[in-house]
Amino acid sequence: MYIAEYWEKLDIGTGSVLNAVSRSPRNAEFVYAGQGVNRHPSWILRQQVHGVRDLRESTSCYAPEDVQSSLGIYQSDRTEAARAETQEKALKLARALERTRDTILKIAYSVVHDLNIFPALAKASSPVALIELAALKPADPFLVERKMRFLVSSGFAEEPEPCQYLPTALSKEMARRTSIGVVESLFLEFLPAGQKLPEYLELTGRRHLQDGFSWLCESPAALTRFNAFMEGRRADRAYWADWFPIQDHILTGADKGSDGTLLVDIGGGRGHDLLVSSNGSPRHQAKLILEDLPKIVDEAETALDLEGNGIDAVGYDFLAQEQSVKGARAYYFRNIFHNWSDDKARLNIKNLLPAMERGYSKVLMEEYILPDKNARALEGMTDIAVMVFCSGLERTRQRFSNLLESAGLKVNKFWTREGDGQGIIEAELA
């Protein structure tokens, strides 16, 4: 799903190899092997590395000039040794240019996660001995040594002395709750679902998948993992109010009274987007409401100071209940509709319509907006991913328009931003 994003950023195509080595989904290794670069070696010279603001901390990072030097040698001396050296330096530079969560989404280490190695490394201020890591679970020291060898080579740990290990930015990131959710979701839900897809389609006569997300909602542990996964993904994306003209299209004309609700974040998880809205902005005086399933809202209220940030939390099932917050200026959905078929998405909207005030309330849907043709690899692969995982789909502008119009809304405008293909569909009562 995410390897395409990596290659698109580097503009070298999608020729990499992902090795899935598995005896069971739980013990799988999802490994980026770094092979298959199929363009001229001078591709690296085209990268805009000077525009990157935040290089990841890593002692194994090569500077762009090191890569260029190796490329020059390889172009004049086409030996295997020169090729291997150039590739290694290019890969290390590429890793340094990535955000930490980008790498985690492509390289998940389930066995190391199960051995509790990442938390032990993350809190270490001095080298941790192999025997200490092996004693955590416990596990065979030789098994742990082999796992650590690969972690070091991939930038997830440093080895200042043989069998002595220090954390890197990546190993610290892997100990975070959201990254743990990524690893567990990939190995316990995403990969097994993908593995079973051909068998499932054969059994069902290759019919289009329907209503897979309901299973997730009935599986509390999986739902918790998924929400942590999505929280991590959301944290890395541009905050919508920083690029959407919220002043002109939402704040202007909004009810300033004490009872007026500015924004309802429907399916907003633990409130990560609303916490940004309520902090350090003139908008913080507005009434903000978080809605999600009761279990998720309870978790959010326990873990975060929602009330102290002016956020009201309400348990709500948008497929089973009519919207209770009436006359809000904006009802906001972030990456919700791509999880559902058109029928379920239409039901969501139908439950919202009675709460909306004509000529005042707006629906804001932040989603991938697929092009009519020539979709990028990331967009196509994300569409397949949501199909496999939750019977959802990414939509083109026409599909969005058809969906909203069939449910009683009209599209005001498609707002797009450069980069990842996501945008906002602004709609109101037809």
Q: Rounded CA gap, 381 and 390, in Å?
A: 14
Distance of CA 109 to the CA centre of its chain: 17
Residues of the chain with CATH 3.40.50.150: 231-429
Contact 319, 347 (CB under 8 A): yes
Name 299's Cβ contacts closer than 8 Å, sequence gap at least 6.
224, 270
**Nearest of 177, 159, 162, 178 to residue 121 by alpha carbon:** 159
Distance of CA 266 to the CA centre of its chain: 18
The residue whose two tokens read 């507005």 is 286
pLDDT of 29: 32
- Check residues 16 and 234 and name the one with the higher pLDDT: 234
Q: Which of 69-78, 166-175, 385-394 has the highest mean pLDDT?
A: 166-175
The residue whose two tokens read 């940004």 is 276
Reply yes or no on whether the pLDDT at 222 is more than 70: yes
- Whole-prediction pTM value? 0.65
DSSP 210-269: ---HHHHHT-HHHHHHHHHHHHHHHHTSPPGGGTS-HIIIIITT---STT-EEEEEET-T
CATH 3.20.20.70 is held by the domain 231-429: no
Class (C level, CATH) for 108-174: mainly alpha
Catalytic residue among 113, 249, 272, 338: 338
Residues of the chain with CATH 1.10.10.10: 108-174
Tell me the helices (H) and strands (E) count for the chain, helix number first: 19, 14
Tokens read off for 25: 């989904």
Reply yes or no on whether the pLDDT at 262 is more than 80: yes
pLDDT of 278: 60
- Check residues 79 and 116 and name the one with the higher pLDDT: 116
> Average pLDDT, whole number, for the chain?
78
Over residues 178-188, the pLDDT tens digits come to: 888 877 877 77
Active site residue 338: yes
Q: Rounded CA gap, 185 and 19, in Å?
A: 18
Over residues 137-179, the pLDDT tens digits come to: 889 999 999 989 988 988 889 999 999 999 999 889 888 888 8
- Per-residue CA distances from 200 to 205, 206, 218 (Å): 9, 8, 20
